[in-house]
Amino acid sequence: MKTLISSLIVTLAAWLTVPAPAVADLIDEVRTIESLGAEDPYPLLAPIVIEQARAAQAQGDQTKALELYRIALTIDKSDRYAYQSATELKADLEAQSAARFKDGLAKFNAGKPDAAHADFLASLRLDPENTAALPYLKDGYSPKILNDYTVKEGDTLRSIAEKVYGNSGGELLLTRINHLSIADALKPERIIKVPVVDKVLTSRLHAEAPEPGKPDKPSKKASKDNAVAHEYASSAMMNEVDLGTTSSGSSEALLAMAKLQLGNGLFETAVSMTDEVLSANPGNAAAREIRNESYYKLAGQLWTKGSTAEAMRSLIRLPKGYKDSEKLRKQVEDKLTADSEPLYLTGVKFFLSEDLEKAVEQWELTLQVNPYHAKARADLEKARQLLEAVKGL
Amino acid sequence: MNAKTLRQFLLATLLLVMAAALTGCGSQRTQQVSPTRTSKNYSVVRASAKDTLKTLANRYLEDPDKAWIIAAYNRIDSVKEGDIVIIPRTPINLGGIQDGQIQTIPVLAYSGFSEDISDAITIKRANFEAQMQFLQDKGYTPIALDRFYDFLEFKEQAPAKAVVITIDDVGKSTFDVAFPVLQKFGYPATVFIATDLVSGQGNALSWDQVRQMHEAGIGIGHRTKTLRNLTRRLGDETLEDFVIAIDRELTVPSLLFKTELGTAPDFFAYPFGVTNELVVSLLKKNNFRGALTLGKGTNPFFTNNYLVKRNPVPGTMSLTEFEKLFVFSQKGESQ
């Protein structure tokens, strides 16, 4: 027994003094042990894992060292050295991760997102359980989707939409995004989310010329966002391929598909595809023809189904005198008027008897039935403004 | 004898001596050797005759599809009796962040398929098969879109050369050509469907075919109702009507998917690959897990979940050009 122990010590010493080959790692050593076919390989494996862990730690690879100490503990739960080392390493890595995140956050908040990026990545690498950096990496390097708006005294969703978008129609969007209804009162200091409404994001990230055929009218807010988007564009490096605008080959293919959809009675899809072609080549006569034909057939289909307002929406997109569309248009207009006029007149009655709320209700109903009732739209706007003024008193 | 060989010789000697010492000392005790040691983070297992990578993954990782993790960590293709296998039970390299390099995953976007026609948007069967064969020969691993999003969400690792296959469906050819080829190779893929296009008439897919693909494990994604360009507000459309129209393009198909397939898709592909902040805010409000564009490039884990890049694969693309799409890492910024 004594001779065995001493030869063990001698061999161990000899082995440890020979320089470790660069390539052999834990898996290589596992293979060696496998080949011995010992009945219980674990006592053989354990010291090797510890040795590897020590080597990793000496080389400064703390993550690898932690991995190896954990494996050692898996093999022998009672290994106090491994337990202590793992605990110390974990604490150290956690601290480093937190520090890197803090540095990154400071740089990010100081307007240096590119410099912050490395710190954010490092904090995740050092401690994957600390995911504080993740939302910054995900959402901090592309233009903001939502802005915060703090409600002030007297704000309504309509007035906020008017302020932010220059368009009271944005009210609906605000209700959807914030899960509110138009009737909900807004408490001051409440923060509501306001989606950014602007041009195609993907094109802006590429920071090239604006999409052909689109009028360029950014709001003040949008141009600030655009500047921000431009700043990130070079690092985002999105190289967009817009099917309708790449080559005539794709335009042709799209047109062929549109024709197919038209033939299949899928008018809206045909319109979507021709719109795409026309956005690149507004002069494409074939696309225009398919589009007109689609809207014409769609209008007829909707009219037959009884969707009068929807039919009108298609009809107004046709050129004047397209086939016999004028006849259909007259029919649709007459029906819309017949359905909506009584509602409108009821609204007028309420207005004249100074029941503003009921007047607004009736005129909103009128527009639901006939969105093209110009008088109802104008009078509704007037009544709403009056109502808001009255509520403010 | 060089340093390496000497070292190995000494190690072997050491081990033999230790083995002798141990067996010498303990011959009186009966040894109950557990073939497995397990902790929260790892299992160290000695494989039995019946074990395979898949059965080990199933037992220790609760998912046979995670067999690749065991294979990659131990640098093996298979296990046999007596093999000692280290199984990481928690992810060890989330996001694939290494010193100086970050893992990226390319996503492919196919549009049309055909038996024999090749054009800008249509790939013929033989070429599609050749491309799938190429992936197999190179050892690239197609993964399902939800696994890709587990990677994007920093929850799970992905194989080193993972790729994602997606199809923007335009017709029956997806079922007739793409589906059987994918099945032949056992590759996962996601088909993005604009529900108006599923009419079952002429060259269009039918819901029955969509169901068959879904039941066979092909992912089904959302691609609006009418394939409308969601960033384009029509000249006479009020902002309110526009918002209603976009929301409708998202919600109506989801209801239809629920009726036809039992579930609504988590993932969305933008018509014509275009999007803006308004669309993204509505996607988030409608609980989509993510959305994909047609912007070329590859995806590190920190890619915005609603701006995932996809490489369109035109039918006319050569294998040489195809190969260039597979970029699996980019420069990292650690230390």
What DSSP line would sit under B3-36, residue for residue? HHHHHHHHHHHHHHHHHHHHHHHTTTSPP---SE
Q: What gap in Å lies between CA B216 and CA B209, rounded to an integer?
A: 11
Structure-model confidence comparison of residues B117 and B26, the more confident one: B117
Give dist(CA B283, CA B264) in Å, integer.
13
d(C-alpha B261, C-alpha B276), whole Å: 29
pLDDT at A233 over 70: no
Q: How far is B169 from chain A (nearest CA, A)?
A: 12
Mean pLDDT is highest, among A39-53, A258-272, B91-105, B211-225, for B211-225
Task: Tell whether the model's pLDDT for residue B3 goes beyond 80.
Answer: no
Copy the structure tokens of residue B251.
Answer: 């919600």
Confidence of residue B15 (pLDDT cuts 50, 70, 90): low
Tell me the mean pLDDT in the region B49-64: 95
Helix (H, G, I), strand (E, B) or coil at B40: coil
Percent of chain A with pLDDT over 90: 50
Answer yes or no: do A169 and B238 touch at CB < 8 A: yes
pLDDT for B249 beyond 60: yes
Total residue count of chain A as it appears in this document? 393
- Overall average pLDDT of the A236-244 stretch: 30
Token representation of residue B69: 């993790």
pLDDT of B23 > 80? The answer is no
pLDDT score, position B319:
95
pLDDT value, residue A368: 87
- Higher-pLDDT residue of A344 and A10 is A344
Report the SS3 class of residue A230.
helix
pLDDT value, residue B233: 84
Copy the structure tokens of residue B242.
């526009």
> From residue A326, how far is each of A198, A319, B55 by CA, in Å?
35, 10, 71
Please report the pLDDT score of residue B113 as a whole number. Answer: 95
Identity at A149, one-letter amino acid code: Y
CB–CB contact B281 A269 (8 Å): no
Tell me the pTM: 0.82
Nearest to B197 among A122, A197, A266 (CB): A266
Residue A113 has pLDDT above 80, yes or no: yes
Residue A201 three-state SS: helix
What is the rounded end-to-end Cα distance, in angstroms, of chain B?
Answer: 39
Which of B229, B236, B280 is the closest to A272 by Cβ?
B229
Mean pLDDT rounded to a whole number for chain A = 82
Residue A199, pLDDT score: 56
Whether pLDDT at A214 is above 90 = no
Q: How far is CA A209 from CA A217, A237, B276, B309, in A?
A: 14, 15, 16, 21
Nearest to B274 by CA among B316, B224, B321, B238: B224
The token pair at A205 is 């990230």
Angle between helical axes of A62-75 and A80-109 (0-180°, round to 10): 150
What is the predicted pLDDT for the residue at A241?
34
Q: What is the DSSP letter of B96?
A: G
CA distance A196 to chain B (A): 6
Give the mean model confidence (pLDDT) for residues B194-202: 89
The whole-angstrom distance between B296's CA and the closest CA on chain A is 6
Interface contact A264-B199, CB threshold 8 A: yes
Angle at A58 between CA A54 and CA A61, to 5 degrees: 90
Helices (H), chain A: 2-17, 26-36, 42-58, 62-75, 80-109, 113-126, 134-139, 157-165, 171-178, 201-206, 220-236, 248-263, 267-280, 285-305, 308-315, 325-352, 356-369, 374-392
* Phi, psi for residue A387 in degrees, rounded to 5: -60, -45
> What is the mean pLDDT of the segment spanning A314-341?
93
> Looking at per-residue confidence, does A393 or B131 come out higher?
B131
> Which among A342, A328, A348, A351 is positioned nearest to A370, based on CA atoms?
A342
Sequence-distant (6+) residues with CB within 8 A of A351 are A359, A379, A383
Read off the tokens for A381.
């706007």
pLDDT of residue A237: 23
Residue carrying the six token digits 């074990």: B51
Q: B102 to chain A: which residues are within 8 Å by CB?
A: 121
As a whole number, mean pLDDT of residues B99-108 equals 93
Confidence of residue A38 (pLDDT cuts 50, 70, 90): confident
CA distance A386 to B86: 75
For A71, which of B44, B122, B204 is closest by C-beta distance?
B44
Looking only at the bridges linking them, the beta strands covering B101-110 and B311-312 are parallel
pLDDT given at position A238:
27
CB B239 to CB A165 under 8 A?
A: yes
Please state, for a pLDDT cut of 90, what percent of chain B lies above it: 74
Among A72-81, A240-249, A312-321, the range scoring the smallest mean pLDDT is A240-249
Give the rounded percent of residues in chain A with a pLDDT score beyond 70.
Answer: 80
Which candidate, A95, A81, A170, A122, places its Cα nearest to that of B95? A122
Whether the predicted pLDDT of A105 surpasses 90: yes
- Residue A18: is its pLDDT beyond 70? no
Beta strand B36-38 pairing with A239-240: unpaired
Residue A232 pLDDT more than 80? Answer: no
Across chain B, mean pLDDT equals 90
Residue-wise pLDDT tens digits, B304-313: 999 999 999 9
Average pLDDT of B137-149?
97
**A213 or B55: which leads in pLDDT:** B55
Q: Mean pLDDT throughout A62-71?
A: 95
Confidence class for position B28, pLDDT limits 50, 70, 90: very low
Which residues of chain A does B16 touch, with a Cβ-Cβ cutoff of 8 Å? 36
Mean per-residue pLDDT for B138-166? 97
Can you give the pLDDT at residue B283? Answer: 95
Helix (H/G/I), strand (E/B), else coil: A156: coil
Residues in chain B: 335
Which pLDDT band holds residue B21 (cuts at 50, 70, 90)?
low
Chain A partners within 8 Å of B89 (Cβ)? none
State mean pLDDT over B32-56. Answer: 89
ipTM beyond cut 0.90: no
